[in-house]
Structures are given as C-alpha cells and as structure tokens.
Amino acid sequence: MENQDLRYIHTEKSHNPKRLPELYDKKEHCCGCSACYSICPTRAIAMQLDTDGFFYPVVNAEKCIRCYRCEKVCVFKADQKKRNYF
C-alpha cells in the first residue's frame, strides 16, 4: 500500500485493540481539505506536507481515542465510495 507508514505515528504507548482510522489509502483518495484535522477532539491529526507540496493527514496513534469522527466527516471519502472508486 502506497505510503502506508507515513499515515501514522506510533509510540510505545500507542497500543489499542481498536483499529486506527483509515483516512486514505492512496493519495488520490485525499484532497487535503483538513476537515478531519479540524474535527479531531484530541488533536491526534497533523497535516503534513509531502515532497510534492501537498498536505496529508497523519494520525498520532497515542493521542487517537478511536472515535472515528475524522472518517465520518470526510466528504471526499464518502463521495468516492458513492462513485465506487474504492
């Protein structure tokens, strides 16, 4: 999977049996709108620049409480699912 390691930050305290949110699998599945970043209640998401100058969300697994608000707010993701892009 493309850039899988870049989507998360793991620490020693980041273990949690619940899955981490999956905001995008390929870069074309994220437009960098930062809605997920804005809604996260624990500031677990950072928007980071890639080498091409585009912002992508990175989830800090230690700060993430697995509420999945970030997945639900992602209109871009919902639209792509509706169009069967996944």
CB of residue 78 vs ligand SF4: minimum separation in angstroms? 9
Short-list 26, 35, 34, 33, CA closest to 7: 26
Report the site for ligand SF4 in 32-61 (rule: CB under 6 A).
32-36, 39-40, 42, 44-45, 57, 59
Tokens of 28: 């074309």
Pairing relationship of beta strands 8-9 and 55-60 according to DSSP bridges: parallel
Q: Which of 14, 27, 58, 69 binds ligand SF4 (CB under 6 A)?
A: 69
Task: Catalogue the E-assigned strands of 2-86.
Answer: 8-9, 45-49, 55-60
Residues that bind ligand SF4 (CB under 6 A): 21, 23-24, 30-36, 39-40, 42, 44-45, 57, 59, 64-70, 73-74, 76-77
